[in-house]
Amino acid sequence: MRLDDGSYYFDCNATIPMKRKAVKAFLDGEKMAFANPSSPYFAGMKSKEVLESSRANILRKLRFEGELVFTSSATEANNLVILSAAKNEKIKKIIISKIEHPSVYELRQIVKSFGKEIIEIGVDKDGVVDLEQLENAISSQSFVSILTAHNETGVIQPVGEIARICERKMALFHTDAVQGFGKIELPFGETNPNAITISSHKIGGPKGVGALAFDKKIELIPMICGGGQEKGLRSSTESIPLIFSFSCAVDLIDTYRFSKLKEIRDEMEDNLSQKFGLTIYGKNSERLPNTSFFSIRGLDGREAQRILNENKIYVGTGSACHGAGKNLPKVLTEMGFSNEEYPIRVSISSLTKKRDIEKFTDIFCSLF
């Protein structure tokens, strides 16, 4: 997308600007519902009404029957559900993939400290979780956490099938749906996960608020104690402006419009492939329509990012949460790529125009 200063932003899996209606909702929320929602007088009751209507609206958009707790971020939501499972005496085994977001993957040692077995499931060369390995690992005392779509490759995981396997084996299933929610119709089919993590700022809402939806089979153990807000699950005065704006951003989701981004993404990949030796990761899998993760023979993605930045074009080299390190992103080594050049991630949004991508392609080809 073209920013107001004339620069171009193509790192939309990291975050996107707040949508105008979400900004207005934030300001309206502060104006009409500034009071503490735990206060017993009319102003507090008004805030409580906005809080609960926002909660119900997000659950409705998720098509999820259960509860929803607001958190400060998706990272907090992931920590809450994974560490609750780790502390649950009825759960003996926690199963994750080797390509989870750091807010899940980096909890491994903490999980083990509670005496739980942790199993990491691999992926194939196309970035898809090994379902046979996963099914063989699951038992009735298992808690499974597999992301819906990968933040770097954009590969969509078979979470509907995973949910059915877990239900059949009487295991619990959580999915980090941060990258999928708002971009695709969540591919759960008739069987929902037991818990779903989502984030506001990935869909054009404000930063500083996320949520965990969960059903009655999930037993959450609070990480933050105090005044007992969020039914005792997450103490701290709820930020009504953030939550109301989050709910507004949810109302603005248009997955049909978002699906059309595939056309300009594919055109960009085709045009780059005509000039460069391009390796597109996950190309043979179902991917988010806005995401392209690729390497170019002889070009280090980190150097390309630096040069593009000097020309006011902003791209990623992988997850913003990982940063650009010395080694290839973990997802690529798990997919079997070890000798490729450092990658580039181009991710766009519904605000990205075809002419923006054409501009990117022209400048990229002229620079490299």
Q: What is residue 322's predicted lDDT score, i.e. its pLDDT?
A: 57
Six-digit token string for 154: 């954009």
pTM for the model:
0.96
Q: Does the residue 43 lie in any domain?
A: yes
Residues 45 and 149 grouped into a single domain: yes
Residues 308 and 221 grouped into a single domain: no
Distance CA 331, CA 337 (A): 9
Q: What is residue 319's predicted lDDT score, i.e. its pLDDT?
A: 67
Q: Does the residue 2 lie in any domain?
A: no
Q: How many domains, in total, are found in the chain?
A: 2
User: What b/e readout covers 201-210, taking b as 16+ CB neighbours within 10 angstroms?
Assistant: bbbbbbeebb
Q: Does the residue 326 lie in any domain?
A: yes
Residues 122 and 217 grouped into a single domain: yes
Examine the residue annotation and report whether 12 is marked as an active-site residue of this protein. no
What sections of 228-334 are H helices per DSSP? 240-251, 255-259, 261-275, 301-310, 330-334
Residues 144 and 90 grouped into a single domain: yes
Six-digit token string for 53: 């209507």
Six-digit token string for 177: 């749906």
Tell me which of 202, 222, 251 is where a domain ends: 251
Residues 52 and 192 grouped into a single domain: yes
Q: What angle do CA 190, 195, 199 make, to 5 degrees?
A: 110
**Domain harbouring 203, CATH code:** 3.40.640.10
User: What b/e readout covers 99-127, taking b as 16+ CB neighbours within 10 angstroms?
Assistant: bbbebbbebbeebeeeebebbebebeebb
Six-digit token string for 161: 């099938």
Tell me which of 251, 274, 293 is where a domain ends: 251
Catalytic residue among 166, 225, 321, 365: 321
Please report the DSSP string for 189-235 in residue order.
TT---SEEEEESGGGTS-TT-EEEEE-TT-----SS-SS-TGGGTS-
Residues 275 and 198 grouped into a single domain: no
Which residue has 């085994």 as its token pair? 93
Domain extent for 42: 20-251
Q: Does the residue 1 lie in any domain?
A: no
Residues 240 and 260 grouped into a single domain: no
* Nearest of 185, 166, 172, 157 to residue 100 by alpha carbon: 157
- 252-310 per-position pLDDT tens digit: 999 999 999 999 999 999 999 999 989 999 999 999 999 999 999 999 999 999 999 99
Tell me which of 208, 224, 251 is where a domain ends: 251
What is the residue-level pLDDT of the chain in tens, covering all 368 positions?
999 999 999 999 999 999 999 999 999 999 999 999 999 999 999 999 999 999 999 999 999 999 999 999 999 999 999 999 999 999 999 999 999 999 999 999 999 999 999 999 999 999 999 999 999 999 999 999 999 999 999 999 999 999 999 999 999 999 999 999 999 999 898 899 999 999 999 999 999 999 999 999 999 999 999 999 999 999 999 999 999 999 999 999 999 999 999 999 999 999 999 999 899 999 999 999 999 999 999 999 999 999 999 999 999 997 665 555 678 999 999 999 988 899 999 999 999 999 999 999 999 999 99
Six-digit token string for 297: 């023979």
Q: What is residue 326's predicted lDDT score, i.e. its pLDDT?
A: 76
Query: How far from chain centre, in Å, is Cα 323?
Result: 16
